[in-house]
Amino acid sequence: MALQTILFDFTLDAEKTATSSQRQDVARVVRNELEHVFSQLELAYSMESLDGGYFAVLHENKETIITCRIFQQGLLTINVEYYLADGKEPLMSFDTGKRVENAIAKKLNALWGQKLPTLKRGDVARYFPSSACMYTFSSPKVIASMQNERIIEYDIDTLVYEARSPFQKIQIMHSKTLGNMLILDELQNIAESDLIYTETLMGRGIENYEGKEICILGGGDGALLYELLKEKPKHVVMLEIDELVMQACNKYLNTICGDVLEKRKTEQYEIIVGDCVEYMKKFIADGRKFDYVFGDLTDIPISGAPIGECWDFIRTIFEHSFKLLKPDGKFLTHGNGTSCLESLQLFEDQLRLLKPKVKFTTSKAFVPSFMEEWLFYQVTFA
């Protein structure tokens, strides 16, 4: 649950906002377009400011609040705020936001316009690392607001796919430079440009997977499985909970997953659709062991202490993974951005608490779609 703040900015010809009547005309156009989304919109307050501008507050059922400001110099800003409860869809989707922006820009003959970051406020407990993006959409460029206090810009031009599974919201968007990008619950996961992410996670050129038994936890985009199979392992089992993610990636991200998501079982690999923790428990009970276990799951949370549901899940994955490893086996996983020093330290502290004791090394790589350097962990028994 969080407060959603949606921002639109436009630059108009100053000659069209020079007088009070002209600014009123602009305000009417804005309201007409917003009413396509907020059908019960009402004007709560308006005024002409001392600096020669116009300001208005509108609302829908006193829940969604919209402010509009028009400057005589030609600037137009629109702020939309509302509360979004857990499990509810945003009031303004990708297509809706783009339509509103384009319609206003067209009817006002705007010189420039864009929809700025959708800010999620008042939900700090659910913040994730710096790859966790909140996406907003405009044409021709899209701003992505990063949750580690960075703001970066993606050149997204198309929403390729959007659906909601029982577990999460799934989107695939197209970037002119990064290709198709997988976004889960508005968090950037992987793009067609991100082979370096997969290669660094698996330690290509360092680890020898030939003839080895491997378990992947998560990995629903199929990229890790696809690259591992090139290394001629004995067998790979992948535990992924979300069938719909795999279907979407098989169709729209096959440049990174090949055809491995076409089938659920072959001589080389098996994809099991279900809760990885439950299947790990079953493997442990059966005495099954692996040379490598990959944690391709939850990012490390950004938090001041290792408490909460996400940290509990990470500790559960640690506990079960090392029960599945052979004595000389390795647990390989991703961390988060190298700038997130506090969260990485908390993660490493959890590793040091494990029994039997483990030791770890790290590697790092610049991941194009994250637009930052990312840290990866290689963990073995001490």
pLDDT in tens, 271-284: 999 999 999 999 99
Question: Does residue 378 contact residue 203 with C-beta atoms inside 8 Å?
Answer: yes
Mean pLDDT, rounded, for 173-199? 93
Question: Does residue 222 contact residue 264 with C-beta atoms inside 8 Å?
Answer: no
Alpha carbon distance 39, 53 (integer Å): 26
Residue 296 falls in the annotated catalytic set: yes
Pairing of strands 119-121, 2-11: antiparallel
Residues 66, 100, 151, 218: is their CA dihedral positive or negative? Answer: positive
In terms of average pLDDT, the best of 30-44, 142-156, 175-189 is 30-44
Find the range with the poorest average confidence among 85-89, 140-144, 239-243: 140-144
| pLDDT of residue 132 exceeding 70 | no
| pLDDT of residue 175 exceeding 60 | yes
State the pLDDT at residue 137.
Answer: 39
What is the token pair recorded at 307?
């408490």
Same fold? 127-189, 192-381: no
Cα 353–309–337 angle (5° rounding)?
70
pLDDT band at 63 (very low <50, low <70, confident <90, very high): very high
pLDDT band at 316 (very low <50, low <70, confident <90, very high): very high
Find the range with the poorest average confidence among 54-63, 140-149, 248-257, 262-271: 140-149
As its CATH architecture, domain 127-189 has: Roll (2.30)
State the pLDDT at residue 138.
Answer: 36
State the pLDDT at residue 381.
Answer: 97
* Given the residues 25, 296, 312, 349, the one annotated as active site: 296
pLDDT, averaged across the chain: 89
| pLDDT of residue 214 exceeding 70 | yes
Q: Where are the domains of the chain?
A: 2-121, 127-189, 192-381
Report the CATH number of the 192-381 domain. Answer: 3.40.50.150
Please list, residue by residue across 268-287, b when 16 or more beta carbons sit within 10 angstroms of its beta carbon and e when fewer do.
ebebbeeebbebbeebeeee
- For 2-121, CATH number out of 3.60.90.10, 3.40.800.10, 3.60.70.12, 3.40.190.10 equals 3.60.90.10
pLDDT band at 117 (very low <50, low <70, confident <90, very high): low
